[in-house]
Amino acid sequence: MKVLIIMGSESDKPVMQESQNHLQFFGIENEMVVASAHRNPDKVREIVVNAQSQGYGVIIAAAGMAAALPGVVSAYTSLPVLGVPLDGGLPGGIDALYSIVQMPAGLPVGTLAVGKAGARNAAVLAARILALGNKQIAERVEAFKQNGYRI
């Protein structure tokens, strides 16, 4: 199973590249796509609705400010969705953090720390999830741990 990294803006790429780098360490196929819940809601819908049938197992969604993307992604899929709040609006990305973590009951987004630490951890958590059904990834997760949690 692959991991889909979806982010709201081209400008989020330098941070979310951290997710991709980590996924590659874990040997997890992945794709990065830019689609905004506000600017391209139908593109988001189409990508996410079809994600599972296209072989994705986990979706990492990242956005800043009024960060609706992760929650909207969770609405369009039954896959586990991991959210990464990004800086850019209120200091520390607190607006994005609250917009992502405070999902109402029923529609979960597993939220990571704001910014680069969160981008890395989203990939690690995706790896832990996929490792449940994939021995090779499980071995890479152990290698990551042996490596001091660094790639």
**Residues of each annotated binding site for substrate:** 9, 12, 39
Q: Could you say whether residue 2 binds a copy of itself (CB under 8 A)?
A: no
Selection from 54, 53, 85 nearest residue 69 by Cα? 85
What are the start-end ranges of the H helices in the chain? 13-25, 41-49, 69-75, 94-101, 116-131, 135-146
The yes or no reply on residue 100 touching a copy of itself (CB under 8 A) is yes
Among 6, 28, 32, 120, binds a copy of itself (CB under 8 A): 120
Q: Is 37 in the site for a copy of itself (CB under 8 A)?
A: yes
Q: Is 3 in the site for a copy of itself (CB under 8 A)?
A: no
Contacts of 135-143 spanning 24+ positions with Cβ under 8 A: 136/27, 137/26, 137/27, 137/28, 140/25, 140/26, 140/27, 141/26
Residues near a copy of itself, by CB under 8 A: 1, 8-9, 36-39, 41, 45, 57, 64-68, 71-72, 74-76, 78-82, 89-92, 94-95, 97-114, 116-117, 120-122, 124-125, 128-133, 138, 141-142, 144-145, 148-150
